[in-house]
Each structure stands twice: as C-alpha cells, then as structure tokens.
Amino acid sequence: MTRKNAAATVHGMSDETWKRHANPWSVWTRLAAIPAFELAVWSRQWLGWWCLAAVLIVVVWLWLNVHLFQPVEPTSWAAKGIYGEQLHVDGKVPAEHKTTLNWLIASGLVGFALIAWGLTALTIWPLALGTVVAVLAQLWRIDRYGLLFQQHLHEQSRGDTA
C-alpha cells in the first residue's frame, strides 16, 4: 500500500467520499485548516497544554471534512482537481504529469517543514513563508490534478482508456 493509499484509507475514501471531498466547501475549508492548525499550536503561548484541545479540534475537522459536504460532479475548478487527485491515488497518472506533481508535493513538504520550524521556534518568518509555500503548492497541485482529470475525460471520450 502506498502512502497516498494509506492516507485515503485513514480518511475512509470511498467513491462517495471522494465526491463529497470534491465539494468546493470541503476543498476551501481544508485549506483554511492550515492557519487554524498553526494558530492552535501557536496558542500554547497563552493556553499551555490546553492548546492540544484546539489542535485536536482541527485534526478531527480534517478527518470529518471529507465526509460532511454534499457530493458534487466535476463542474468546478476545485471539484475537477479533487477528481484528478483520486486518479493520482488510484495510480492513473500519465508520465507527463508525474514529474510536475512530484515537484509540487516536494514543494509542499518544504513548506510544511518551514511551518514546523516556525511553530517549534515560535518564529513568524519561517511560519509565514512555509504557509505561503505550502498553500501555493497545494493550489498548483489542485490545478494540475484538474488538468489530469480533464485529460482523463478526453481520453475516455476517445476510447483511449478503459
């Protein structure tokens, strides 16, 4: 099982769940969870160990998020991106997309490393830089997944794939 499949399994990602996760409300509120998580961790300055309650709320939200919203068809930018992400998790990524997706994933990981540094040291510049890098990488990845999904639909309509 790959890491992508393991993450999908942890979230209980069935076909129905992917359709719910494709809802733009799910996509945008998951992105909003990044600064919410950062604030929850940073709040240890004021809340002490009670900050873990705030962290737990964000983590539970991230797990619930993919199950809460109405399922949607791939008509919006966000929905097409999530449908493309499902193709990636299922291993249906053409070679021309793999390098770019790997670079975007690596960029996002660099962003999250900077976030971790900023939160550990309570230093704002790596936190802010990491947030910008992680969010931009995620948005670009969603866009790339949308292209992947549109290419997949085009190939299916031509009968190129099963």
89 closest CA partner among 145, 133, 134: 145
Q: What's residue 14's pLDDT?
A: 83
Stated pTM of the model: 0.84
Distance CA 73, CA 20 (A): 9
78 within 8 A of 142, measured Cβ to Cβ: yes
Question: pLDDT of 72-128, one tens digit each?
Answer: 999 999 999 999 999 999 888 888 888 999 999 999 999 999 999 999 999 999 999
Residue 9 banded pLDDT, cuts 50, 70, 90: low
d(CA 114, CA 93): 29
List the domain boundaries for the chain: 3-158
